[in-house]
Chain A
Amino acid sequence: MNASAFLVAATAMTISATVSAAGAHSGGHGGGSGEPGKASEVSRTINVEMHDNYYEPESIEVNPGETVRFVIENKGKLVHEFNIGTPDMHEAHQEEMMMMVEHGVIQGGTLNHDMMEMEMDMGNGHSMKHDDPNSVLLEPGKSKEIVWKFSEQGNIEFACNVPGHYQAGMYGDVNFN
């Protein structure tokens, strides 16, 4: 009578995630929202839980120039993203994520890792890879880290750009002290 079996099925897929926190800086992400941080400069760790379809917490406080380690865990039953960016960056990224859904890379609670590995050129320099350093894309039960430096103040949100999730309210504010 519940869906726990699906969760088990989803997490049983032990294919290693290809998402790398230190990958190429493609697609123009990063500008205005900070930059990949150095582990040695981390001042503190913030744990972020991803649920269906919201974050805990829904806002965080940072100091300008601070480097933060985010430990992100997907506690939901669906695939979610944690992506640091400006609202405009999120909007642009949502088109790429829509493409990933349309091509079957993201299917409800699972990711098609084989497709993500492939060097598929979707035009305009887009690929099915999801390896930008400002984001992670996680299946249910999975956990990942991002080290991020909030170089300067800005209008920054962390958001899930799986189609519909941002619009349903799955984003949080980065507030500068």
Chain B
Amino acid sequence: MRTTFLAGLAALLIPALGLAGEYNLTVDRVQIDTGDFVKEGIGYNGESPGPVLRFKQGEEVTINVTNNLDEMTSIHWHGLILPYQQDGVPGISFPGIKPGETFTYRFPIQQAGTYWFHSHSGFQEPDGAYGAIVIEPEGREPFRYDREYVVQLTDKHPHSGDRIMRNLKMMPDYYNRQQQTVGEFFSDAAEHGFMNTLKDRMAWGDMRMMKADVEDLQGFTALINGKGPEQNWTGIFEPGERIRLRFINSSAMTYFDIRIPGLNMTVVQADGNNVQPVNVDEFRIGVAETYDVIVRPRDEQAYTIFAESMGRSGFARATLAPKEGMEGVVPELREPARLTMADMAGMHGMDHGSMDMSGSSDMAGMDHSGTGSMEQSDMAGMDHSNMVGMDHSGMMMSNTGASDPFYAKGSGIVPVAANGGKFLSYADLRAQDPLYEDREPTREIELKLTGNMERYTWSINGVKYEDADPIRLQYGERVRFKFVNETMMTHPMHLHGMWSILDVGADQWNPIKHTVSVQPGTTVYMETEVDEPGQWAFHCHLSYHAAAGMFRKVIVEGGPDTTQAQTDAVVDNGGDA
């Protein structure tokens, strides 16, 4: 009854020799067939996604990466704790890997769980340069299963990353197909009254945003393990078996809402770290996050893994079945969520003084005039103080009635389970076995997530990467980061090299993550024990936001001994995101 790894541990690459393994990866031009289109892209060992790298906690790994491209490349081991020179970010960790060269990474595997790897050069990752990492723990896991599968999602687009970035810069709504229409104006007018609808549209115009900006990149085909919805990746099971699914979101830009109709899921890991198990019907996975769930299908039937994009412009689909070729019902996409004024509440400089709010009487119960109505007791770690003084009582608000302390109150994008059941919230996550003792942070650093959608610039504290000074941290301190999202998009913030202790109000049980989603109009806190010397990347993991400047270099000053990093000496000539 112990954990068994039916997926072959040794089937891959080079067998691990004791606790030292050597692995070889080539970076290649590959063909990617999504079922909807075939596109040239970049992959590893001749395919995209690349192989699943299987390591063992305590192992010393040697990974030889050979660049067969005619451009620079790099591999970042997303979520792994390692010496900064091995982190694979050109210009921060190392210069990058030149065409024709082999670079050898060497580092100890200090952790266990589900992670992934990807290029950190240009737009090679959206072009296909990603793969999964599975690390077997030294001891037994706090859960058990008979079988496991990696379920790695991406949002493959027919355009190359370079072309997408050019188009977004030229016309930020280039890939936004869900803009509201004149027809919609009149149907809203019939429902909410002409003046309210007009004011709503004018307000959005003021903010240089479009209400449908839940996703700024549409037109992709969502893949699971490299397979499009029609190609239907299938995982086999015997009824009654317990299956561990290792979900990894390797998308460039897309959040997914994931469910398996007919099955409950028990979330046991988030971002590679064990969490106290949570039973859910559905969960939202941010870009670059991972969630491990356990399911137990008891019936001899096929189950559909259904992953709708957050903006409902596409879906990924896969199947769990007792036999190859069986298919479950594929649900319809739900109606797209629309941002509300609450999602905009973090934006500064909004002057709606000229707007007549006299029509507010027909919006009974929708008073968002301040923070006084935040009655949830589990709001610890959340700060909606930016809402002060904003009266949007005449605006159209969320009609879902759903709430989640990690979304703005009245937000239009609060997720709701399709079957009316339990939808995972960050507020449900508790560390299974806390890595760090809880202590007071030594200081707080505020990071405003900022941008101008009209010019497709994304920044931190209003300054984009190339104009910004690095963030300097002291080795040994515990820093509290305050993210204030002043944009209308969700940003998955990823700090390299050190854990992000997400404040869910659970003190010592707060979970540790490598990527923290900050929803529009909200403030989220995370703390970091500064326990790794060197210099690290810290950025929004939406590829085109990172490239546009929502990115910082973090320098850790000091260190455990004389290995004081020669940080500033690292050659600064590679790609940046």
Contact = CB atoms under 8 A, between A and B. Distances in A.
A53 B142 contact: yes
The 8 closest A-B pairs by CB, nearest first: A164-B277, A169-B144, A168-B143, A167-B266, A168-B277, A3-B434, A53-B142, A169-B143
Nearest to B437: A5
Interface string B138-167: 001011110000000000000000000000
B433 A77 contact: yes
A2 B294 contact: no
Given A1-B435, A3-B434, A3-B508, 15 more contacts: A1-B436, A1-B437, A52-B142, A53-B143, A78-B432, A108-B430, A163-B278, A164-B277, A164-B279, A167-B277, A168-B144, A168-B277, A168-B294, A169-B143, A169-B145
Given A58-B1, A78-B276, A6 B296 contact: no
Interface in A128-160: none
B277 A53 contact: yes
A113 interface: no
A3 B437 CA distance: 6
Interface string B423-441: 0000000101111110000
A53 B267 CA distance: 13
Contacts of A53: 142-143, 277, 432
Contact of B264 (A52, A77, A167): A167
A164 B424 CA distance: 13
A54 B140 contact: yes
A169 B242 contact: yes
A163 B275 CA distance: 13
Nearest to B144: A169
Interface of A: 1-3, 5-6, 51-54, 58-59, 77-78, 108, 163-165, 167-169
B537 interface: no
B509 interface: yes
B509 A108 contact: yes
Nearest to B275: A164
B268 interface: yes
A77 B264 CA distance: 26
Given A54-B142, A58-B1, A6 B434 contact: yes
Contacts of A77: 433
Contacts of A3: 433-434, 437, 508
Given A1-B436, A52-B433, A59-B1, A164 B276 contact: yes
Contacts of B509: 108
Contact of A169 (B267, B294, B433): B294
27 contacts: A1-B436, A2-B437, A3-B433, A3-B437, A3-B508, A6-B434, A6-B508, A51-B142, A52-B433, A53-B142, A53-B277, A53-B432, A58-B1, A77-B433, A78-B432, A108-B430, A108-B506, A164-B266, A164-B277, A164-B278, A164-B279, A165-B277, A167-B279, A168-B143, A168-B266, A168-B268, A169-B143
